[in-house]
Amino acid sequence: MVLHDFLPSGNGYKIRLLCACLGLNVTLKEYDITKGETRTEAFLALSPNGKIPVLELDNGDVLSESNAILLYLAEQHASLLLPTDLITKATIYKWLFWEQYSHEPNIAAVRFWLTHNAMNELKEQMLPDRVQQGNAALQLMDDTLKKQTFLIGDIISLADICLFAYTHVAEEGGAYQLSDFPNIQRWIKTIESQDWFIPITQR
């Protein structure tokens, strides 16, 4: 498999982290999205929406959208990270959908704006509301993790892999303080202590 990725991207990191957890070999092909490298004719032929990550399977099939890729790999490899119990599975889906709607637009987008010199007048106006919503998302996670070790209970799941990616780097850019969320901090340390863990910077 080939993962077309931008190393600082949490969306790409989700895939690399899951592959590490499952013991899957994946070749990384890097692109710099700040230089338009995913807008070339060649990349758009691979992925018409011009976004990373894209997972190219050994049989030539191409998958896009990070959480769809997570679900494919977990299903394909019968991972314990995605239990077959329908209620548990629905709970994991809930977190994955919530991540894309309520978490990623506020945590990841703000991180990118502030760390890649991407601010402009419109984003300056949007920033306070985004940070408010991001803090609300982090508070929801923190409240959940106050009651249990992981997001769906006492076992790690695909929900944790998904949410870990951008949550653990939320402080980059200075908009968020994870010290305000002690249960998230504990959860981050628990995931980082797993023997399969790899950092976001690992190629």
Task: Express each pLDDT in 92-104 by its tens digit.
Answer: 999 999 999 999 9
Contact 28, 16 (CB under 8 A): yes
pLDDT of residue 117: 86
Contact 168, 186 (CB under 8 A): no
pLDDT of residue 79: 83
pLDDT of residue 203: 81
CATH class of 86-192: mainly alpha
Mean pLDDT throughout 19-47? Answer: 94
Task: Express each pLDDT in 108-132 by its tens digit.
Answer: 999 999 999 889 999 999 999 999 9
- Mean pLDDT across the chain, nearest whole number? 96
pLDDT of residue 68: 97
Q: Which amino acid is at 161?
A: I
Percent of the chain with pLDDT over 70: 100
Contact 44, 23 (CB under 8 A): no
**Alpha-carbon span 80 to 143, nearest angstrom:** 25
Task: Express each pLDDT in 177-203 by its tens digit.
Answer: 999 999 999 999 999 999 999 999 988
Residues of the chain with CATH 3.40.30.10: 2-76
Q: Which two tokens stand for residue 150?
A: 């992981």
Residues of the chain with CATH 1.20.1050.10: 86-192
**Alpha-carbon span 180 to 143, nearest angstrom:** 12
- pTM of the predicted model, to two decimals? 0.94
Correct CATH for 2-76 of 3.40.30.10, 1.10.10.60, 3.40.930.10, 3.40.50.300 = 3.40.30.10
